[in-house]
């Protein structure tokens, strides 16, 4: 008799990126119409050479092959705390920081620290699908805060208030958002913090893409300026996109000391520590490569502006709902087709690989996610041309 597998794992949604790759498996693409792969957001450029040179040098040290302390290298935790304090204002130190093996792991550990099977966590729709998957695997009920087309994808705190239950342990926000690219205004983030504080629950704020915000005049929010921020806020971050280190798997959890203590137990059980080589890469990036990051931010801003210009064509048929950081969310014109059918259509006929809105939650059949960061500014007119052609195909 075969043993049974975990029903919560089996019942969770399948990895969407892997599914989308099957749509083009085995195909070849002509030079005059190459594949535009806008499915998964990954940096289209390598890390800064000075960073990889540093990593190569560190790899020669025996110390690099050993464990670090569970919470991460002390100097990395201190430097990240100082960086966040400078960027956002407020006061925090290394006791508020744990270095994780990527932001996905940071989210999983944060959820494990505050919720258990039968509890609930609020996810605004469209959600980042790995967040949904983890909740399903843990037997935690997701509360889906509906998508607000009228707010360009920015969730409504007052609507959230009406949907919270006694079982709710956290509200999750992602800004800049994956999948929509929407950037949540500071006052909206602060309203969600106030709501979470009032209800005695956590606000989990994933800011993986914060270093691609175009406005550098002020902080993305002012939550850290509240001396009691650690009673409500859990901030998640990834070095992966900022320094083009996706395969290194290095991120962070920033929270109150008691939360960090709980996450430390989880980290020790799951992984012991984040690999030292990845931590050294992140530390070098924090200390030395911000001019390089600024160049990449400007490049991505140019890609976003080129995308917006392409969508201003009044005969395109597709509507750009929001765009920012790496992502854009698009309303397609096919009322009689599902989002997946449209995504397959543009993949099959126009050699555009993107993700259907249905991968990101309920009531998203009229939307597609395009990871515009994967395309150059010069390719945006070609993208628009192919989308327009899909209307007639």
Judge whether 35 and 163 are in contact, CB under 8 Å: no
Domain spans, the chain: 13-42+292-392, 49-288
Query: What was the pLDDT predicted at 190?
Result: 97
Question: 276-288 vs 74-88: helix axis angle to the nearest 10?
Answer: 40
315 close to 386: Cβ distance less than 8 angstroms: no
Query: Quick one: which of 276, 248, 182, 203 has its CA closest to 43?
Result: 248
Of the candidates 278, 12, 43, 308, the residue with the CA atom closest to the CA atom of residue 139: 12
Q: Which residues, including other chains, have CB under 8 Å from residue 79's CB and lie 6 or more apart?
A: 283, 286, 287
Local confidence band at 13 (pLDDT 50, 70, 90 cut-offs):
confident
Specify the higher pLDDT residue, 225 or 44. 225
Just give the CATH number of 13-42+292-392: 3.90.1150.10
Q: Looking at domain 49-288, does it have CATH number 3.40.30.10?
A: no
Each residue's pLDDT tens digit, 311-356: 987 678 999 999 998 999 999 999 999 999 999 999 999 999 999 9
Statement: the pTM of the whole predicted model exceeds 0.75: yes
Q: What is the pLDDT of residues 80-117, one digit of tens each?
A: 999 999 999 998 999 999 999 999 999 999 999 999 99
**Rounded Cα–Cα distance for residues 94 and 253 (Å):** 11
**pLDDT tens-place string over residues 140-186:** 999 999 999 899 899 999 999 999 999 999 999 999 999 999 999 99
pLDDT tens per residue across span 213-249: 976 668 999 999 999 999 999 999 999 999 999 999 9
Reply yes or no on whether the pLDDT at 40 is more than 90: no
Beta-bridge mates of residue 323: 328
The pLDDT value given to residue 393? 62
Q: How far apart are CA 10 and CA 192, in angstroms?
A: 33
| pLDDT value of residue 240 | 93
How far apart (Å, rounded) are the C-alpha atoms in residues 151 and 84? 28
Q: What is the pLDDT of residue 216?
A: 63
Reported as a single tens digit per residue, the pLDDT across 258-304 is: 999 999 999 999 999 999 999 999 999 999 999 999 999 999 999 99
Average pLDDT over residues 198-227: 91
């Amino acid at each position: 008799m075969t043993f049974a597998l975990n029903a919560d794992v089996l019942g969770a949604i399948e990895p969407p990126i892997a599914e989308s790759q099957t749509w083009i498996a085995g195909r070849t693409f002509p030079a005059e119409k190459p594949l535009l792969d806008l499915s998964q957001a990954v940096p289209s450029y390598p890390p800064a050479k000075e960073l990889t040179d540093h990593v190569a040098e560190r790899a020669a040290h025996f110390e690099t092959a050993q464990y670090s302390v569970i919470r991460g290298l002390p100097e990395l935790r201190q430097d990240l705390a100082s960086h966040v304090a400078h960027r956002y204002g407020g006061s925090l130190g290394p006791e508020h920081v744990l270095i994780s093996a990527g932001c996905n792991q940071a989210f999983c550990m944060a959820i494990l620290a505050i919720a258990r099977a039968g509890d609930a966590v609020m996810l605004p729709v469209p959600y980042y699908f790995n967040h949904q998957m983890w909740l399903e695997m843990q037997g935690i009920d997701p509360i889906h805060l509906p998508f607000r087309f009228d707010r360009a994808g920015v969730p409504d705190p007052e609507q959230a208030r009406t949907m919270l239950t006694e079982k709710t342990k956290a509200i999750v926000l992602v800004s800049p958002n994956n999948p929509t690219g929407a950037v949540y205004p500071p006052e909206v983030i602060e309203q969600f913090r106030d709501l979470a504080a009032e209800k005695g629950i956590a606000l989990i704020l994933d800011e993986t893409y914060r270093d691609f915000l175009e406005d550098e005049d002020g902080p993305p929010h002012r939550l850290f300026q509240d001396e009691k921020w650690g009673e409500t806020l859990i901030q998640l971050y990834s070095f992966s996109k900022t320094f083009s280190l996706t395969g290194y798997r290095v991120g962070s959890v920033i929270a109150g000391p008691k939360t960090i203590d709980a996450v430390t137990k989880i980290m020790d059980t799951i992984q012991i520590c984040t690999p030292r080589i990845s931590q050294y890469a992140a530390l070098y990036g924090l200390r030395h490569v911000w001019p390089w990051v600024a160049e990449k931010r400007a490049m991505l801003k140019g890609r976003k502006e080129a995308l917006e210009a392409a969508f201003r064509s009044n005969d395109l048929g597709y509507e750009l709902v929001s765009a920012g950081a790496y992502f854009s969310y698009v309303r397609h014109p096919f009322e009689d087709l599902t989002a997946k059918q449209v995504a397959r259509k543009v993949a099959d006929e126009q050699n555009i690989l993107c993700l259907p809105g249905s991968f990101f939650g309920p009531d998203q059949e009229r939307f597609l996610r395009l990871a515009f960061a994967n395309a150059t500014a010069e390719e945006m007119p070609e993208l628009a041309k192919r989308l327009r052609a899909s209307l007639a195909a």
